[in-house]
Amino acid sequence: TKTLEETLREVIPPKQEQLKKLKAEHAQTVVGDVKVENIIGGMRGLKAMLWEASVLDPIEGIRFHGLSIPECREVLPPAPGGKEMTPESMLWLLMTGKVPTPQQSKQFSEELAEKGEVPSFVEKLIDSLPKTLHPMTQLSVGVAALNHDSAFQAAYERGTKKTEYWTHTLEDCINLVAKLPALAARIYRNVFHPDRPLVPIDKNLDLTGNYSNMLGFGNNESMTEYLRLYIALHGDHEGGNASAHTSHLVGSTLADPYLAYSAALNALAGPLHGLANQEVLRWQIAMQKEIGNTITHDNIREYLWRTLKSGQVVPGYGHGVLRNPDPRFVALQDFCKTRPDLQASPTIQLVQQTAEVAPEVLKEHGKTKNPYPNVDAASGCVLYHYGLTEFKYYTVIFGVSRALGAVTQLVWARALGLPIERPKSYSMDALEKLIKS
């Protein structure tokens, strides 16, 4: 059975040929216009990036190498004894475009467990940070420090050939994904449960089995399965989202994967992006406090209006690309529907009730182009129900996940020899000149 690297060695040459052909035959083919609204509007809708692992359709949502979320849940191997796809199965799919066999997925889990320990100097660095420093900042610091042992950086200094870049990048990327759970769990322990002993990595467990164990939820199989689904689902959302794009931009300078992903985490930590999952819980708890125990559509509606009238966004709603409910939100809701304890949870019921009211309120408000829930509207609720109530930590779990797509792109960008990113910018005066010319 082939390893990930052996599989990549097979799939890379045809992709290199495909790129060569695109360059030779279509370098000058026009695929869209650049309008002033794109330049002043956050480049929304601009077709401007190559990203192999997934494509986002505004109506249908994300597809990973052509596979929808329900299809991935169907075909990607679960952990032994589990049902949900694992993040390592998803990473294999993202990297290679192929569904791994259960054996490949298991061997990959073993490799990740083998490489999962964080160097002791990084542990000390994390332990020295103030507990009041946001967990996302701590994660970014820890990931950047891992570049001390970057295989890519060392190979670059040795003068390695360009055609070999991707193999060293892959080594760093696998190490990064492997070490994220221990690093993230250490941050959770330090900030929220300093009295708890840290559990070592169990070489027999999959990546999420270990992560859940280290967070203190190893005995809760439903929570571990939820984390598998959560981490696999959030892994990639094509290339234009702020964290993925940041990783790609920084990586395009040939900064190593640790530096590139550390930068991506800083983008993910913004409230309009990944931090929204923390904000949803904060918002929802404030709503619950205000409304009390009798929650009705009417008082949710009233609370939504109060949020909007005070000039805030409703967290967990809207999207830069999607124009329908996010299929990741739907998948997380589906997970809840299969478990009676989750169905009975007031937190999960409130997510559902809010989703029944918010779209009509946001439509009436008339600003957002997408009044439907995105993944963040649901992602924190199961964590909260099962006792991971420290919502300042939620984006860290997103950060453990988003690495899957980011590292995939870093490997492919090196394998395809993609250049440094450098779009052209204009001042408003220069733009006006351009319009007149």
Could you give the residue numbers annotated as active site?
Answer: 273, 319, 376
Q: Could you give the CA distance from residue 400 to residue 378 in angstroms, rounded to a whole number?
A: 18
Matching residue, tokens 């809840």 = 336
What is the rounded end-to-end Cα distance, in angstroms, of the chain? Answer: 61
How many helices (H) and strands (E) are present in the chain, helices listed first?
21, 2
Query: Near ligand NMX by CB under 6 A, which window of 175-183, 203-211, 311-319, 387-395?
Result: 311-319
Query: Near ligand NMX by CB under 6 A, which window of 107-115, 129-137, 371-379, 399-407?
Result: 371-379
Does 402 engage in binding with ligand NMX (CB under 6 A)? Answer: no
**Residue among 209 and 320 whose Cβ is closer to ligand MLT:** 320
**Residue among 201 and 358 whose Cβ is closer to ligand NMX:** 358
Q: Could you give the CA distance from residue 174 to residue 355 in angstroms, rounded to a whole number?
A: 37
Beta-carbon neighbour count of residue 427 at 10 Å? Answer: 8
Q: Could you give the CA distance from residue 184 to residue 394 in angstroms, rounded to a whole number?
A: 11
**Residue among 4 and 406 whose Cβ is closer to ligand MLT:** 406
**Crossing angle for the helix pair 242-251 and 394-415, nearest 10 degrees?**
40
Does 241 engage in binding with ligand MLT (CB under 6 A)? Answer: yes
What residues numbered 89-108 form the site for ligand NMX, per CB under 6 A?
none
Does 320 engage in binding with ligand MLT (CB under 6 A)? Answer: yes
Q: Could you give the CA distance from residue 94 to residue 309 in angstroms, rounded to a whole number?
A: 42
Number of residues in contact with ligand MLT under rule CB under 6 A: 5
257 touches which of ligand NMX, ligand MLT, none (CB within 5 to 8 A by kind)? none
Q: How far is the CB of 69 from ligand NMX (least distance, A)?
A: 15
Does 73 engage in binding with ligand MLT (CB under 6 A)? Answer: no
Q: Could you give the CA distance from residue 393 to residue 400 in angstroms, rounded to a whole number?
A: 11
Does 50 engage in binding with ligand NMX (CB under 6 A)? Answer: no
Closest to 313 in 3D by CA, of 286, 337, 279: 279
Does 319 engage in binding with ligand NMX (CB under 6 A)? Answer: yes
What residues numbered 268-287 form the site for ligand NMX, per CB under 6 A?
272-274, 276
**99 in Cβ contact with 75 (< 8 Å):** yes
What residue is closest to ligand MLT based on CB?
241
State the residues that interact with ligand MLT by CB under 6 A: 237, 241, 320-321, 374
